[in-house]
Amino acid sequence: MDNLSIFDVISFLSSIASLILAIVAILAAKSSEKEVRDNFEKTQRVMMEYQERTKEVLAEIDKKAEVIERTVSESQRQLMNTMTNIINETVIPKKVDMGEQLGMQFMQQMFSNPEKANEMMGGLAQMMKIAEMQKDKK
C-alpha cells in the first residue's frame, strides 16, 4: 500500500461510496415501484367498487324514473279525460232532449196562464198513469 498515492486512495473510497449509493438507489427504486404497484391495485379496486355502486344507483334511478313516468302519464291521461269532459259539458252543445223541451214548454204555459194549470195537471196525471201501466206490463 506504500506505492498508492493519496489520489488513488480517494478514488478507491469514492468508488466504494458510489457502489454503496448505487445499491441504495436500486433498493429505493424497487421499494418505490412496489408502493406504486400497491397504490395502483388499490386504486383499481376502489374504481371497480365505485363502478359497481354507480351501476346499482343507475339501476335504482331507472326504476324510479319508470314509476315517475308511469305516474305522470296516468296523471296526464286523467287530466285529458277531465278536460274532455269539461269541454263536452260546456263548450259543445248537448243533444236536444225532448223531455226537457216539453217540460220547459209545460212550465212556460203554466206561468203564462195560471187558470189552465189545473187542466194541464190533470192531463199530466193521466199521462203519468199510462206511463206507470206501461212499466208494470214490462
- Asked whether residue 2 carries a pLDDT value surpassing 80, the answer given is no
DSSP the chain: -TT--HHHHHHHHHHHHHHHHHHHHHHHHHHHHHHHHHHHHHHHHHHHHHHHHHHHHHHHHHHHHHHHHHHHHHHHHHHHHHHHHHHHHHTSPPPPPHHHHHHHHHHHHHHH-GGGHHHHHHHHHHHHHHHHHHHHH-
pLDDT level of residue 84 (50, 70, 90 thresholds): confident
- Identify the weakest region by mean pLDDT among 4-13, 62-71, 102-111: 102-111
Structural domain spans, the chain = 96-138
Reported pTM: 0.41
Report, as an integer, the average pLDDT of 26-33.
96
Report, as an integer, the average pLDDT of 75-90.
86
